[in-house]
Chain A
Amino acid sequence: MGSSQTEQQTIAALVDQYRDLPGGLLPLLHAVQAEIGHVPDSAVMTIAKGLNLSRAEVHGVISFYHDFKTQPVGRNRVQICRAEACQSMGSRHLESYAKQRLGIDYHQTTDDGNISLEPVYCLGNCACSPSVRVNDDVFARVDQDRFDQLIADLGGE
């Protein structure tokens, strides 16, 4: 339902690519998500069939991991570190500021579909906290001004 034919073809091709890889389900899910942005419901059946698993098993794996999304997400992913090192440098303030600034809570996407906000537990940048990850880039010592600038750089609206 709702999934285009090309999406189905993409998924089928990826399943073919990963089906013989030992323990290939996680790499496959990462690949699907990299191509489509999330793991659509329609993918679950194809993956289950291709990897000889039940749909419940595939679904169980998807739901276990924070990374995998079953709904479409924004064009950009903004993650704020919630872990202790960042807390010690005021990330709690940053979190509430970010939510208010974007008008969304964690796991939500701005109305224009530009930004999804997510929590993350540690980015390994703990000597230069607070840390924010925007797509694949990590930013150090993010205060409110710096956050505004990062968001402005993403355009949108």
Chain B
Amino acid sequence: MRFFIPQDTSALACGAEAVAQALLDANIEPVRNGSRGMFWLEPLLEVETAQGRIGFGPVSDKDVATILKALESDASSHDLYLGAVDEIEYLASQQRLTYTRAGLGDPLCLENYQALDGFNGLKRALTMSPQQIVDEIKNSGLRGRGGAAFPAGIKWQTVLDAGATDSQKYIVCNADEGDSGTFADRLLMESDPYQLIEGMVIAGLAVGATQGYIYLRSEYPVAHRLLNTAIEKAMEANFLGDNIGQSGKSFYLEVRLGAGAYICGEETSLLESLEGKRGMVRAKPPLPAIEGLFGQPTVVNNVLTLAAVSTILAQGAKTYQDFGMGRSRGTLAIQLAGNIKRGGLIELAFGVTLREVVENYGQGTYSGRPIRAIQVGGPLGAFLPESQWDTPLDYEAFAAIKAMIGHGGIVVFDDSADMAAQARFSMEFCVEESCGKCTPCRIGSVRGVEVIDRIVANEDRDNNMILLHDLCDTMEQGSLCAMGGMTPFPVRSALTHFAQDFTGAGKGDN
């Protein structure tokens, strides 16, 4: 019997280390796998038995003895018994293309990765010309998963065509994942880091880049450790470095840590930061694809965009393209978070409605109270009232209601939420995280906090309401990037859909 207990951040945060220790104390050396993404079940203890892989969860160190005992006779008699993990509805009903390996084994085991189809995409890419690889990505319909949903193939074409044939080009992976309610990049890096590495090497082959950087937020120490080890091992096995797999092609990869600035997730700010500067957003043009890192042609893609590349190359553009709706092709890594009973990662084809996700997968709030608002797409995303929950998760459908899918984070609030306080926080967050380049963003957000305070305090209400809308207009129109340009989205949605919270009656208690 083999035992699995994850080394994923959320599993550890829920007590996985103590469970691992309890197993060691019982003379069992568990595999430290990644997480399956069913965080409500973490720590999820899995056991490989003659009847397949069964699970128990959420377990604490105190449950280990009784689980071991139950395994000797009838495992299903244990209170925490979950049956075959692959058959848990939450997981079984997903359409996993990117997270197929997540949680299955030791994320650093190269043999395991290859046994589960790892590096098949790279092997195929090595037989193709750069233009063929770029065409494959174009045909897949893959759009950037970092938020802006820009077609990846078009960006790659620009970088492929940019500069002289021998000019230094870069692949930069945006692993800054700053949106609250998101953890998909982290889960991928902690559960299947080689997939990201593979995608980056393929990107390098496609555009002619030999150096890659993963810009990782400093809030992710576990991912940092795992990525560094994965890179070392991939170097040793010649999946990275000089003359990869005797192909004559080279690619080097390095992880760089951010330093706690949300704005550094914006690609030009990120590039400034990588160059060792303040993370001030750059005006575009020039596009990073033409003048990016150190002034050279640069691909900047999100973790999930690059991970999807390895799947697309392995399984073909057509397979990927067959998932999704409209112009949103492939699968979306939905992250269900906040006040939710069953939070976790849900990978599904685009097109599922918000309500289906929150009700069927999430099973309502953690507190057991009614859901009041849902924020999709991070701190710059609108707060959606119940009337909008039937919107399908599709980039265009969300844009049509002045909302955004962004990186796919869904934060659920119950009926104790004070939406005026949330609107105030949106402005406050902008004050805290603005890079400071544009006045509407830097100063407008400070004024926004003050004005919301006055409205809630019932001071000169009507005029302050007008002022707040004016401020929002100015921020939307006069900001260089979406930080200042979209902070008004959550604010306005709160004003529109939860107006009663701004009357100063003192709603909610969180």
Binding site for B on A (CB under 8 A): 22-27, 29-30, 51, 57, 60-61, 64-68, 83-93, 120-129, 131, 133, 136-141
Listed residue (A83, A91, A127) with the most chain B CB atoms within 10 angstroms of its CB: A127
Per a CB cutoff under 8 Å, which of A68, A85, A126, A128 touches B259? A68
For residue B150, CB closer than 8 A to chain A, the reply is no
Q: Which of A57, A90, A136 touches B221 (beta carbons < 8 Å)?
A: A136
Shortest C-beta distance, B466 to chain A (Å), equals 27
Q: Chain B residues near A51 (CB, 8 Å)?
A: 276
Are B182 and A128 interface neighbours, CB within 8 A? no
Residue B261 interfacial (CB < 8 Å) = yes
Residues in B with CB closer than 8 Å to A68 are: 259
Q: What chain A residues lie within 8 Å of B343 (beta carbons)? A: 126-128
Are A88 and B429 also in contact (CB < 8 A) when A124-B220, A137-B12 are? no
Contacts of B221 in A (CB 8 A): 136
B257 touches A27 (CB 8 A): yes
Q: Which residue of A lies closest to B278 (CB)?
A: A64
The answer to whether B177 touches A126, judged by C-beta atoms less than 8 angstroms apart, is: no
Query: What's the nearest-Cβ distance from chain A to residue B161, in Å?
Result: 24
How far does the alpha carbon of A25 sit from the alpha carbon of B275 in the complex, in Å? 8
Cα–Cα distance between A115 and B109 once the two chains are bound (Å): 37
| B278 engages A85 (CB within 8 Å) | no
How many angstroms from the CA of A116 to the CA of B429 in the assembled complex?
Answer: 21
Contact: B375 with A121, CB < 8 Å?
no
Contact of B414 among A66, A67, A88 (CB under 8 A): A88
- Determine whether B120 belongs to the interface, using a CB cutoff of 8 Å to chain A: no
Shortest distance from the beta carbon of A66 to any chain B beta carbon, whole Å = 4
Most buried by B among A123, A126, A140: A126
Report whether A128 and B510 are in contact in the complex, using a CB–CB cutoff of 8 Å: no
The CA of A128 and the CA of B12, in the complex, are separated in Å by 11
Complex Cα spacing A38 to B463, Å: 46
**In the complex, B323 has a CB within 8 A of chain A:** no
- Interface membership of B242, Cβ < 8 A: no
User: Min CB distance, A16 to chain B, in Å?
Assistant: 16
Contact among B10, B273, B294 for A125, CB-based, below 8 A:
B10
- Is B339 an interface position by the 8 A CB rule? yes
CB neighbours of A140 from chain B (8 A): 10, 13-14
Question: Which residue of the partner chain A has the closest CB to B340?
Answer: A127
Q: Given the complex, which residues of B lie within 8 Å of A25, measured CB to CB?
A: 276-277
Complex contact B276–A30 (CB within 8 A): no
Q: What are 20 residue pairs bridging A and B, where the CB atoms are less than 8 Å apart in the complex?
A: A23-B276, A30-B257, A51-B276, A61-B277, A64-B261, A65-B260, A65-B261, A66-B259, A83-B379, A84-B338, A85-B181, A85-B338, A85-B411, A120-B219, A121-B178, A122-B180, A123-B219, A127-B336, A128-B40, A137-B12
Cross-chain contact B273 with A26 (CB below 8 angstroms): yes
Closest B-chain residue to A92, C-beta based? B510
| Residue B183 lies at the interface, judged by CB distance under 8 Å to chain A | yes
Shortest C-beta distance, B77 to chain A (Å), equals: 27
Once A85-B338, A121-B262, A127-B183 are accepted as A-B contacts, the answer to whether A23 and B366 lie under 8 Å apart by CB is no
Question: Shortest distance in angstroms between A97's beta carbon and chain B's nearest beta carbon?
Answer: 13
* Cα–Cα distance between A1 and B260 once the two chains are bound (Å): 29
B13–A139 contact, CB under 8 A?
yes
- CB pair A125–B260 under 8 Å, yes or no, is no
- A26, A66, A126, A136: which contacts B180 (Cβ < 8 A)? A126
Q: Are B219 and A133 in contact (CB under 8 A)?
A: yes
Compute how far the CA of A58 lies from the CA of B105 in the bound complex, rounded to whole angstroms: 43
Contact B260 A120 (CB under 8 A): yes
A87 and B425 contacting across the interface, CB-CB below 8 Å: yes
What separation, in Å, do the CA atoms of A87 and B257 have in the docked complex?
26
Contact across chains for A85 and B337 when beta carbons are under 8 A apart: yes
In the bound complex, residues from chain B placing their C-beta under 8 Å from that of A27 are 256-257
B14 partner residues in chain A, CB cutoff 8 A: 128, 140-141
- The answer for the CA separation of A92 and B256 in the assembled complex, in Å, is 32
**Which of A23, A30, A124 neighbours the largest number of chain B CB atoms within 10 Å of its CB?**
A124
Question: Is there a chain A Cβ closer than 8 Å to B218's Cβ?
Answer: yes
Taking a contact as CB atoms under 8 Å apart, the answer to whether B262 and A126 are in contact is no
List chain B residues, Cβ under 8 A from A141. Answer: 14
Binary contact track B225-263/A, C-beta < 8 Å → 1, others 0: 000000000000000000000000000000011111110
Q: Give the distance in Å from the alpha carbon of A84 to the alpha carbon of B409 in the complex.
A: 11
Assuming the A-B contacts A30-B257, A67-B259, are A128 and B39 also in contact, with contact meaning beta carbons closer than 8 angstroms in the complex? yes
B42 part of interface (Cβ distance < 8 Å) = yes
> How far does the Cβ of B280 sit from chain A's closest Cβ, in whole Å?
8
Q: Is the CB of B256 within 8 A of A23?
A: yes
Q: Does B179 contact A (CB under 8 A)?
A: yes
Asked whether any CB of chain A lies closer than 8 Å to the CB of B330, the reply is no
Q: Which of B12, B183, B259 has the most CB of A within 10 A?
A: B259
Asked whether A64 and B178 contact (CB < 8 A) given A30-B257, A122-B219, A124-B183, the answer is: no
Closest to B428 in A: A82
C-alpha gap A88/B417 in the complex (Å): 7
B178-208 vs A, Cβ < 8 Å mask (1 yes, 0 no)? 1111110010000000000000000000000
Compute how far the CA of A141 lies from the CA of B221 in the bound complex, rounded to whole angstroms.
19
Q: How many angstroms from the CA of A51 to the CA of B294 in the assembled complex?
A: 16
Report whether A127 and B180 are in contact in the complex, using a CB–CB cutoff of 8 Å. Answer: no
Cross-chain contact A84 with B12 (CB below 8 angstroms): no
B337 touches A129 (CB 8 A): yes
Q: Are A122 and B178 in contact (CB under 8 A)?
A: yes
Q: Which of B39, B180, B256, B258 contacts A84 (CB 8 A)?
A: B180
A23-B275, A60-B278 given as contacts; is B339 within 8 A of A89 (CB)?
A: yes
- Selected contact of A66 from candidates B260, B337, B379, CB within 8 Å: B260
Residue B324, interface by CB 8 Å: no
**Nearest 3 interchain pairs by C-beta:** A127-B343, A25-B276, A83-B180
Contact B13 A128 (CB under 8 A): yes
Query: In the complex the two chains form, what is the Cα distance from A66 to B14 in whole Å?
Result: 27
Please tell me if B488 contacts chain A, counting CB pairs below 8 Å.
Answer: no
